[in-house]
Amino acid sequence: MTLETRRRVWSAMAFAIAWACAGRAVAASEAGSSPLPARPNVLFLAIDDLNDWVGCLKGHPQVQTPHIDALAARGTLFTNAHCQAPLCNPSRSSVLTGLRPSTTGVYGLAPGLRDVAELRNHVTLPQTFTRAGYYTATCGKIFHDGSIPQLLQATEFSTWGPAPGMPKPPQKLSRIAGGHPLMDWGVFPPRDQEQADWKIATAAVEQLRSAPRDKPFFIGCGFRLPHVPCFASQRWFDLYPDNRLIMPMVREDDREDTPRFSWYLHWKLPEPRLATLQRHNDWRPLVQAYLASISFVDSQVGRVLKALDESGRAERTIIVLWSDHGWHLGEKGITGKNTLWERSTRIPLILAGPEIARNAVCAEPVELLDLFPTLLERCGFPARPDLEGHSLGPQLREATTPRPWPAITTHNQGNHSVRTRDWRYIRYADGSEELYDHRIDPNEWTNLASRDEMSETLRELRRWLPRIDRPAVPGSKHRVLLYDPATKAVSWEGTSIGSDDPIPNDE
Ligand SMILES: [Ca+2]
């Protein structure tokens, strides 16, 4: 089914569904009871740029995230969960539409999903709940900042709380001067209460307290850290003393067996290369600041969860905690996202609440795309044939239930990664490939794609590559990579890359 056909089918169904759900809401209020069990609340907690450096995921041996770990213990933790795109706007657009980036053609930081003609009438995840009579509220960053025009905001979430940006010191704290204004890290601001994420958590706490009690709620709270600038107050840095800091494992020669095309996905970025950090003695401070930011944001997750428990509504609430993608801290010579490797794609994903197994761990490959159909199923909405994910229902009941699908991540047209339980396979737009065996190579150091004995494995993995592979939509900007198979011409953010151009290594 094409996207357009799916959209028409869904549009035709939408009215009937909304009508049926409204009828159920009326029935609930007429009965004078709390909402029907089929209409649980949803607390949707997004974290920005958090990789697997979370205690329960063991991505970093020192990271302290007691609140996220406690949430995992009261629910199901997915240890092999991956984003659909290693960049904010395409990842969040995918989560909220339930469609792959390769289906929407949204690959860059622009356009916002409502500026894409084919998505204009697509019913998003929050819209589904708003139309069904839920109290829906958001604060902080759920949609990519600025991607929903103000006039349309109330059609997504009925209530929009504050979404403050990060506070900035008068001068940069990082030893790397100049560059992008967001590229900074260090001890700031002095008081936690001045932090954007403190204010965002406070807004979510208020929304939880003031949510009408005669209907269910869907509250989306999007935290900003550990996205750069990685700022936290001194107490969070004190958790990670410099003299005991364990640095990420990197290999100097790691990029010798990755195709040249792998560099095109992050040809030039605001995020510094590892060599730049090392030259300025700023690698350790960045790692320390990223860890401090994670522990601070974890404390704010704790504040929101405490408010949920105090509301008396936790037993009827599905809690979802997710991050939009990961982040490199020197691995493969770079920092930031914009890659198809584990560092960029692996994310924390936890669900907890009614009829969700407690203290359960699912190692099956799952995708952020699965959240939309999962919440439809759990909240009693009809399944949507236009969505591309698969409900996690079976794994929420029994975490070891196998899944036949791998997790697919896409960065710009034609570049895809396929992650199964044991393998990561990557295919770039020019046909070059990578293959890693996660059973023996969790750092993805040794590319096996050119080995003869891997041909059968490669054949098996290639068949999962997305069949729909749309070009970037009109208006695509920022981190957009274009490749023309006929001429082999490559361009990054509108500037062509010659086949012999030296790989940029910022100063
Ligand atoms: Ca390597």
Distance 250 CA to ligand 1 centre (A): 10
Q: What is the mean pLDDT of the chain?
A: 93
* Sequential DSSP letters for 188-224: --SSGGGSHHHHHHHHHHHHHHHS-TTS-EEEEEEEE
Q: How far is CA 352 from CA 26, 51, 360, in A?
A: 27, 20, 10
Active site residue 144: yes
- Point out the least confidently predicted range of 142-146, 292-296, 348-352: 142-146
Q: Is the dihedral of CA 188, 190, 196, 201 positive or negative?
A: positive
* Identified catalytic residue from 60, 122, 144, 325: 144
Task: Tell me the pLDDT tens digit for each residue of 304-321.
Answer: 999 999 999 999 999 999
Which 3 state secondary structure label does DSSP give 496?
A: strand
pLDDT of residue 16: 41
pLDDT-based confidence at 32, cuts 50/70/90? Answer: very low
CA 257 to centroid of ligand 1, rounded, Å? 5
CA of 353 to the centre of ligand 1 (A): 41
Give yes or no for a contact between 335 and 277, defined as CB atoms under 8 angstroms apart.
yes
Distance from Cα 255 to the centre of ligand 1, integer Å: 5
- The one-letter code for the residue type at 360 is A
Cβ 268 vs Cβ 203: under 8 Å: no
CA distance 32 to 19: 20
- In this predicted structure, the answer to whether residue 36 has a pLDDT above a threshold of 70 is no
CA separation for the pair 364, 100 (Å, rounded): 19
- Distance from residue 88's CA to the centre of ligand 1 (Å): 26
Structural contact between residues 388 and 381, judged by C-beta atoms closer than 8 angstroms: no
**pLDDT higher than 70, residue 7:** no
How many A from CA of 50 to the centre of ligand 1? 23
CA–CA distance, 100 with 422 (Å, rounded to integer)? 23
Q: State the residue for tokens 């905690």.
A: 321
Point out the catalytic residue in the list 88, 230, 362, 379. 88
Residue 343 C-alpha to ligand 1 middle, in angstroms?
13
What is the whole-number distance in angstroms between the Cα of residue 409 and the centre of ligand 1?
Answer: 19
CA–centroid distance, residue 45 to ligand 1 (Å) = 34
Q: Which amino acid is at 232?
A: A
Q: Number of helices and strands (H, E) in the chain? A: 15, 21
Residue 5: both structure tokens together: 């056909």
Residues 428-487: tens digit of each pLDDT: 999 999 999 999 999 999 999 999 999 999 999 999 999 999 999 999 999 999 999 999
Express each pLDDT in 42-94 by its tens digit: 999 999 999 999 999 999 999 999 999 999 999 999 999 999 999 999 999 99
| Ligand 1 centroid to residue 338 C-alpha, Å | 17
Per-residue pLDDT tens digits for 239-249? 999 999 999 99
Q: Which two tokens stand for residue 159?
A: 């209530």
Q: 256 C-alpha vs ligand 1 centroid, how far in Å? A: 6
Q: What is the pLDDT of residue 34?
A: 34
Judged against a pLDDT cut of 90, whether residue 506 lies above it is answered with no
CA distance 436 to 446: 6
List of domains in the chain: 39-368+404-497 (3.40.720.10)
- Which residues contact residue 298 at a Cβ distance below 8 angstroms, ignoring those fewer than 6 apart? 64, 65, 66, 67, 68
> pLDDT, tens digit, for every residue of 181-229?
899 999 999 999 999 999 999 999 999 999 999 999 999 999 999 999 9
Structure-token pair, residue 265? 């996905």
CB 289 within 8 A of CB 252: no
The pLDDT tens digits of the residues spanning 92-135 come to: 999 999 999 999 999 999 999 999 999 999 999 999 999 999 99
Q: How far apart, in Å, are the Cα atoms of 404 and each of 236, 364, 401, 425, 464?
A: 41, 9, 10, 16, 11
If phi over 0 gives left and psi between -120 and 50 gives alpha, with beta otherwise, what is residue 133? Answer: left
Ion ligand 1: residue ranges with CB closer than 5 A: 254, 257, 445
**Class of residue 110 by CB neighbours under 10 A (exposed 0-12, middle 13-18, buried 19+):** middle
Q: What's the pLDDT at 132?
A: 97
Q: What is the pLDDT of residue 480?
A: 98
291 three-class SS: helix
pTM of the model: 0.93
| 8 Å CB contact between 369 and 98 | yes
Task: Read off the pLDDT of residues 132-183 as tens digits, 9 standing for 90 and up.
Answer: 999 999 999 999 998 999 999 999 999 999 999 999 999 999 988 777 889 9
Predicted local distance difference test score (pLDDT) of residue 6 = 54
- For 12, the token pair is 């035709």
> First and final CA of the chain: distance in angstroms?
48
221 classed as catalytic:
no
pLDDT > 70: percent of the chain: 93
